[in-house]
Amino acid sequence: MIKGECKMNIEYVPTICPYCGCGCGVYLVVKDGKIVGVEPWKEHPVNEGKNCPKGRNAYKFLYSEKRLKKPLVKENGSFKEASWEKSLSLIAEKLKNIDPDSFGFINSGKLTNEDLYVIQKFTRCVMKTNNIDNCSRFCHSTTVPALISTVGSGVMSTSQINIEKADCIFIAGTNIKETYPMIALRVMRAKKKVAKVIVTDPRRTVTVRLLADIHLQLNPGTDVVLINAMMKTVLDNGLEDKDFIERRTKGFNELRNYLSSLNMNDAERITGVSSDLIKEAARTYAKAENACILYNAGIAQHAVGIGNIQALSDLAMLTGNYGRPGTGVNPLRGHINGEGFGDMGPIPVFYPGFRRVSEKSAKLFENYWGVEGLPSNPGMTYMDMIEKCDVLYIAGANPMVSAPDTNQVRKMLESKDLLVIQDIFLTETTELADIILPAATWVEKDGTITQVDRRVQRIKKAVDPPGEAKPDWKIIRELSGMMGFREKFKFNSSKEIFEEIRKYVPQYSGITYDRLKKAGGIQWPCPSEDHPGTDTMFVESFGTPEGLGAFQVVEHKNPVEMIDEEYPYVFTNGRLIFHYHSGTMTRKTERLNNEVRGGFVEINIDDARKKGIRDGEEIILKSRRGEIRVIAKLTDNIRKGVLFMPWHFSESSPNVLTGPSAGPPSKMPEFKFCAVKIEIKR
């Protein structure tokens, strides 16, 4: 026996999977400073030791050779390693002398609450602007205004765990078997008891095939028509919850009058779903004791996303499905910190704690932070900053893959006076940067993150960052110091930042690092240290000023860019189980990348036959904004006239084709609908 060769220091460090917004727990096995494995955390209430393919391999990308380890500064067109001192002073010098409105900060749902809090404080205190946004613009910028208008708060109203208590689950346009497997598990458990499952999707996804009792395979962009028709059926059959409507809502008469003007034949014609099936779905939903609506990008990523979500919320109120476990209208979140990157205020319209940007909020935070001149007008949104800001600071985002109309994005990023990017890897976007700063990942720093059901959880530093990489908040702290704000950023630890967060974000008041040792964390609102947290929202009243749910009349509107003779196909895109967003992490994880190595487009078999397209053949897709080459995948699981692509692969990226956006307030790009044509070159 050769003694002493085996390293003796092995620790199971509990952490949260860095991918979607479910917030599954895993143990990282850390052996002498290196992560060597993932083990099930069976006590964790969200996933009970179970994980999806991404979660099971959550740490592997960390050891990719492509990790950024030193700051890089572009000199004469190529990147040179530089010291932190030099890189940050270059940035500080530039930032000191610019107009607040010419600066913008794009942040990410991969960052911790502490990172995000410091980033927004920097943007507001030091740069004096609200030009700060993140990809919530691309996923739930429609959710927040929609749900604020109906129920007063844009959050998941049930706890994800309680989905298994529902007896009807309405999955509106989301492929949860692939994108939120742990939520799919809750649906399966509900279904094994009694629950009926309704799914709307233009595709027959694996979720539809394995979970749906009723599949409404609607035409893309016709959700409002479908939901209105369901509500009409509810009223025609007297299935509305009269008591709930009476006690807890307002505006019902306007909605009823509007619905009575509709007719089911129109609904059938526009949605492409038989009116009998719509009626069956409506009755199934309305008759359930506890019905739960789950939705995500398929509903939200439309120019009419706000209307889609308001209509869903109307449907839930009409049938009294709010305020109990396993009910409500529940937006799913794509990012590990998918709730926190709203809560912390790193967005143009809210200060921390969802305090709407205004004179009053600015004054409040001037008081809190002891500074002057905080901005009181809403800042620019994601795409406006990309277009208009001369200096752009990006932390953890990859707009060259994730933002619409890639060709334009490239042009605009290339024209920046200064583009700073803070990331863990070189990405498609860092190529265009002037300065690249190496950031620490979620296992290399302490902090908190807040998941889909308002679940605040603690993540712990398990290993050191590679090279000179640093946690995002430390980088911003140092930059603020160089710009004369050292006193305002005197944080020595993430815990000190969190203590400031709980002072100013009322939803977090009762949460402490110590309390977060508990598996599964604490769900906000948590007003005091003896409060257990809140698993179900709106139990007694809604979050609107007078506490009543407000019905909204929603009329159908066409997508911004309709199909026509020249561009006859509806183009839509989404995610696969094996990959995540722009692929930065999953494509560096061998097992996941082996599963799917590149992009493809799903096309209906009949459509393909008419065009003479063979399975596996490379075709060209063109929109008004650009063209891509992509492998055709023939399937009968998609509606005729619709094309679907995953968006994880930059070499055949759907966002070269996408583009049109909603106007204010959401400014949501219409990722789920644009017009394309197919060309074949043999």
Partner 1 sequence: MKGEMHLAWSTDGEILKRAEYGGAVTSLLKFALEYKWVDAVLAVKARNGKRYGCTPVLITNPEKVIETSGSLHCASPNIARYIKEYLDGALYLKIAVTCKPCDAMAIIELAKRNQIKLDNLLLIGINCTGTLIPNRTKRMIKEEFGVDPDDVVREDIEEDKLTITLKDGTEKVKNLDELEKKGYGRRENCRRCEVNIPTMADISCGKWGVMDEKETFIEVFSDKGSDLIEESIKAGYIKVEQPDNIALKTRKRKKEDAIKRAKKWQRRDFTTLKKITLNERLNYWFGQFNQCIKCFGCIDVCPICYCEDCYLEADRDLVTGGEVPPDVLFPMIRIAHVMDSCVNCGQCQDVCPMEIPLSQLTFMLNRELAKIFKYKPGVDVNAIPPLRAPGTEEELRTVVLNSLAR
Give residues in contact with partner 1 (CB under 8 A). 1-6, 8, 10, 12, 14, 27, 29, 31, 36-37, 39-43, 45, 47-53, 55-56, 177-178, 181-182, 184-185, 188-189, 206, 210, 517, 519, 576-578, 591, 594-597
Of the two residues 279 and 575, which places its CB atom closer to partner 1 in the complex? 575
Largest Cα span, the chain: 85
Residue that has been written with the tokens 């799913």 in this structure: 332
Q: DSSP state, 525? A: P
Give me the amino acid identity at 467.
Answer: G
Shortest gap between Cβ of 184 and partner 1 (angstroms)? 8
Cβ nearer to partner 1, comparing 41 with 138: 41
Which secondary structure element, helix H or strand E, spans residue 457, and what is its range?
strand 455-459
The smaller minimum CB distance to partner 1, of residues 79 and 600, is found at 600
Q: How far is the CB of 45 from partner 1 (least distance, A)?
A: 6
Question: Helices 359-369 and 494-504 meet at what angle, rounded to 10?
Answer: 140
Q: Can you tell me the distance from the alpha carbon of 143 to that of 153, in angstroms, rounded to the nearest whole number?
A: 9
Instruction: Write down the least CB distance from residue 29 to partner 1, Å.
Output: 6
How many CB atoms within 10 Å of residue 407? 14
Rounded least distance, CB 599 to partner 1, Å: 11
Taking the complex as a whole, how short is the minimal distance between the CB of residue 474 and partner 1, in angstroms? 27
Q: Which is nearer to partner 1, 97 or 594 (CB)?
A: 594
CB of 232 to partner 1, least distance (A): 35
Between 505 and 577, name the residue whose CB sits nearer to partner 1: 577
Q: What's the one-letter identity of residue 25?
A: G
DSSP H helical segments within 370-455, as ranges?
A: 382-388, 399-402, 406-414
Query: Closest Cα partner for 345 from 153, 104, 117?
Result: 117
Closer residue to partner 1 in complex, CB, 39/417: 39
Closest to 262 (Cα-Cα) out of 233, 290, 287: 233
Kind of pairing between the strands at 10-16 and 25-31: antiparallel
Q: If you search the block for the tokens 């308002």, which residue do you land on?
A: 454
- Residue 37 or 484: which CB sits closer to partner 1? 37
Taking the complex as a whole, the smallest distance from the CB of residue 8 to partner 1 amounts, in Å, to 6
- Supply the minimum distance, in Å, between the C-beta of residue 130 and partner 1: 41
What six digits make up the tokens of 328?
């409500």
For the chain, how are helix, strand and coil distributed in percent, rounded to 5?
A: 35, 20, 45
Pairing of strands 618-622, 674-679: antiparallel
Q: Could you tell me the two tokens for 344?
A: 């912390």
Q: How far is the CB of 169 from partner 1 (least distance, A)?
A: 16
Q: How many helices (H) and strands (E) does the chain have?
A: 24, 28
Tell me whether residue 10 or residue 680 sits nearer to partner 1 (CB atom). 10
Specify the 3-state DSSP secondary structure of 80: strand
In terms of CB distance, is 8 or 663 closer to partner 1? Answer: 8
